[in-house]
Amino acid sequence: MSAAIEARLKELGIALPQAAAPAANYVPYVISGNLLYLSGQLPMENGKIGVTGHLGKDVDVAGGQRAAELCAINILAQAKAALGGDLGRIKRLIKLNGFVASTPDFVEQHLVINGASNLLANVLGEAGKHARAAVGMAALPLNAAVEIDAILEIA
Protein backbone atom coordinates (compact mmCIF):
# COMPACT_ATOMS: atom_id res chain seq x y z
CA MET A 1 0.00 0.00 0.00
CA SER A 2 2.92 2.35 0.62
CA ALA A 3 3.73 2.36 -3.11
CA ALA A 4 0.09 3.16 -3.93
CA ILE A 5 0.10 6.10 -1.50
CA GLU A 6 3.39 7.40 -2.88
CA ALA A 7 1.98 7.06 -6.43
CA ARG A 8 -1.14 9.05 -5.48
CA LEU A 9 1.02 11.78 -3.94
CA LYS A 10 3.12 11.96 -7.10
CA GLU A 11 -0.01 12.00 -9.28
CA LEU A 12 -1.36 14.92 -7.23
CA GLY A 13 1.96 16.75 -7.50
CA ILE A 14 2.58 16.58 -3.74
CA ALA A 15 6.09 16.22 -2.34
CA LEU A 16 6.01 15.64 1.40
CA PRO A 17 8.23 18.03 3.35
CA GLN A 18 10.43 17.10 6.28
CA ALA A 19 8.25 16.62 9.34
CA ALA A 20 8.23 19.79 11.44
CA ALA A 21 9.96 19.72 14.79
CA PRO A 22 7.91 20.69 17.86
CA ALA A 23 7.90 24.41 18.65
CA ALA A 24 7.34 23.94 22.40
CA ASN A 25 7.38 21.27 25.13
CA TYR A 26 5.52 18.45 23.37
CA VAL A 27 6.24 15.60 20.99
CA PRO A 28 5.10 15.56 17.34
CA TYR A 29 3.39 12.19 17.74
CA VAL A 30 2.59 9.42 20.18
CA ILE A 31 2.06 5.78 19.29
CA SER A 32 -0.10 3.84 21.74
CA GLY A 33 -0.94 0.31 20.72
CA ASN A 34 -2.23 0.48 17.16
CA LEU A 35 -3.07 4.20 17.31
CA LEU A 36 -0.93 7.07 16.07
CA TYR A 37 -1.80 10.45 17.59
CA LEU A 38 -0.38 13.38 15.64
CA SER A 39 0.05 16.78 17.24
CA GLY A 40 -1.64 19.74 15.57
CA GLN A 41 -0.14 20.65 12.22
CA LEU A 42 -0.05 24.20 10.91
CA PRO A 43 -0.22 25.18 7.23
CA MET A 44 3.56 25.19 6.83
CA GLU A 45 4.96 25.72 3.36
CA ASN A 46 8.65 26.17 2.57
CA GLY A 47 9.48 26.57 6.26
CA LYS A 48 6.90 29.25 7.09
CA ILE A 49 3.18 29.60 7.69
CA GLY A 50 1.60 29.47 4.22
CA VAL A 51 -1.78 31.01 5.10
CA THR A 52 -2.22 33.50 7.95
CA GLY A 53 -5.12 35.51 9.29
CA HIS A 54 -8.79 34.97 10.06
CA LEU A 55 -11.49 33.47 7.89
CA GLY A 56 -14.24 36.02 7.48
CA LYS A 57 -11.74 38.89 7.53
CA ASP A 58 -8.32 38.23 5.95
CA VAL A 59 -8.83 34.85 4.28
CA ASP A 60 -11.63 33.57 2.02
CA VAL A 61 -12.94 29.97 2.02
CA ALA A 62 -10.66 28.96 -0.88
CA GLY A 63 -7.63 30.30 1.01
CA GLY A 64 -8.77 28.45 4.12
CA GLN A 65 -9.12 25.24 2.14
CA ARG A 66 -5.57 25.72 0.86
CA ALA A 67 -4.42 26.13 4.48
CA ALA A 68 -6.23 22.91 5.40
CA GLU A 69 -4.57 21.11 2.47
CA LEU A 70 -1.17 22.26 3.72
CA CYS A 71 -2.05 20.95 7.19
CA ALA A 72 -3.01 17.60 5.63
CA ILE A 73 0.29 17.42 3.75
CA ASN A 74 2.10 18.06 7.04
CA ILE A 75 -0.03 15.38 8.74
CA LEU A 76 1.18 12.90 6.10
CA ALA A 77 4.78 14.06 6.60
CA GLN A 78 4.51 13.53 10.38
CA ALA A 79 2.87 10.14 9.88
CA LYS A 80 5.65 9.11 7.51
CA ALA A 81 8.28 10.15 10.08
CA ALA A 82 6.45 8.35 12.89
CA LEU A 83 6.10 5.16 10.83
CA GLY A 84 9.72 4.90 9.74
CA GLY A 85 8.94 6.15 6.25
CA ASP A 86 6.21 3.56 5.58
CA LEU A 87 2.84 5.22 4.94
CA GLY A 88 1.57 1.75 4.03
CA ARG A 89 1.28 1.07 7.77
CA ILE A 90 -1.76 3.39 7.88
CA LYS A 91 -4.82 1.18 8.19
CA ARG A 92 -7.32 3.98 8.71
CA LEU A 93 -7.50 7.69 9.34
CA ILE A 94 -9.83 7.69 12.31
CA LYS A 95 -10.38 11.36 13.13
CA LEU A 96 -9.35 14.88 12.23
CA ASN A 97 -9.85 17.83 14.55
CA GLY A 98 -9.82 21.02 12.51
CA PHE A 99 -9.39 24.43 14.10
CA VAL A 100 -10.13 27.51 12.00
CA ALA A 101 -9.11 31.02 13.06
CA SER A 102 -12.26 32.94 12.23
CA THR A 103 -14.37 35.95 12.99
CA PRO A 104 -17.41 35.41 15.25
CA ASP A 105 -19.80 35.64 12.29
CA PHE A 106 -17.92 33.14 10.07
CA VAL A 107 -19.84 29.84 9.98
CA GLU A 108 -18.20 27.84 7.18
CA GLN A 109 -15.47 26.09 9.16
CA HIS A 110 -16.72 22.77 7.77
CA LEU A 111 -16.05 23.95 4.20
CA VAL A 112 -12.53 25.03 5.16
CA ILE A 113 -11.65 21.67 6.72
CA ASN A 114 -12.98 19.94 3.58
CA GLY A 115 -9.63 20.94 2.06
CA ALA A 116 -7.86 18.47 4.37
CA SER A 117 -10.59 15.83 4.27
CA ASN A 118 -10.65 15.76 0.47
CA LEU A 119 -6.88 15.62 0.12
CA LEU A 120 -6.49 12.82 2.66
CA ALA A 121 -9.32 10.79 1.13
CA ASN A 122 -7.71 11.22 -2.31
CA VAL A 123 -4.29 10.12 -1.05
CA LEU A 124 -5.34 7.30 1.30
CA GLY A 125 -8.37 6.03 -0.60
CA GLU A 126 -10.93 4.14 1.49
CA ALA A 127 -8.58 4.27 4.51
CA GLY A 128 -8.78 8.08 4.35
CA LYS A 129 -12.49 8.33 5.19
CA HIS A 130 -12.73 9.66 8.72
CA ALA A 131 -14.74 11.26 11.50
CA ARG A 132 -13.92 14.90 12.20
CA ALA A 133 -14.65 18.14 13.96
CA ALA A 134 -14.38 21.63 12.44
CA VAL A 135 -14.31 24.42 15.02
CA GLY A 136 -13.87 28.18 14.95
CA MET A 137 -11.14 29.70 17.11
CA ALA A 138 -10.36 33.26 18.16
CA ALA A 139 -6.69 32.79 17.22
CA LEU A 140 -4.14 30.10 16.42
CA PRO A 141 -0.37 29.90 16.95
CA LEU A 142 1.76 32.14 14.72
CA ASN A 143 -1.41 33.68 13.24
CA ALA A 144 -2.06 30.46 11.27
CA ALA A 145 -5.46 30.34 9.59
CA VAL A 146 -5.91 26.61 10.29
CA GLU A 147 -4.50 23.89 12.56
CA ILE A 148 -5.40 20.21 12.31
CA ASP A 149 -4.52 17.19 14.42
CA ALA A 150 -5.18 13.55 13.60
CA ILE A 151 -5.66 10.06 15.00
CA LEU A 152 -4.75 7.10 12.79
CA GLU A 153 -5.00 3.33 13.15
CA ILE A 154 -1.71 1.71 12.16
CA ALA A 155 -0.31 -1.75 11.54
Q: What is the DSSP letter of 18?
A: P
pLDDT value of residue 23:
83
- The predicted-structure confidence for 32-54, as pLDDT tens digits, reads as follows 999 999 999 999 999 999 999 99
Confidence of residue 124 (pLDDT cuts 50, 70, 90): very high
pLDDT value of residue 2:
84
What spatial distance separates the first Cα and last Cα of the chain, rounded to whole Å? Answer: 12
Q: How many residues does the chain have?
A: 155
**pLDDT (average), residues 133-141:** 98
Which long-range contacts (C-beta less than 8 Å, at least 24 apart) are formed by 44-53? Answer: 44/17, 44/20, 44/70, 44/74, 45/70, 49/142, 49/143, 49/144, 51/144, 51/145, 51/146, 52/142, 52/143, 52/144, 52/145, 53/101, 53/143, 53/145
User: CB-based burial of residue 21 (10 Å sphere; 0-12 exposed, 13-18 middle, 19+ buried)?
Assistant: exposed
Q: Report the run of H or E that residue 148 belongs to, with start and end.
A: strand 146-154
Label the pairing between strands 146-154 and 131-137: unpaired
Q: 35 or 20, which is more confident? A: 35
Complete domains list, the chain, with CATH: 1-154 (3.30.1330.40)
**pLDDT (average), residues 83-112:** 98
pLDDT value of residue 1:
64
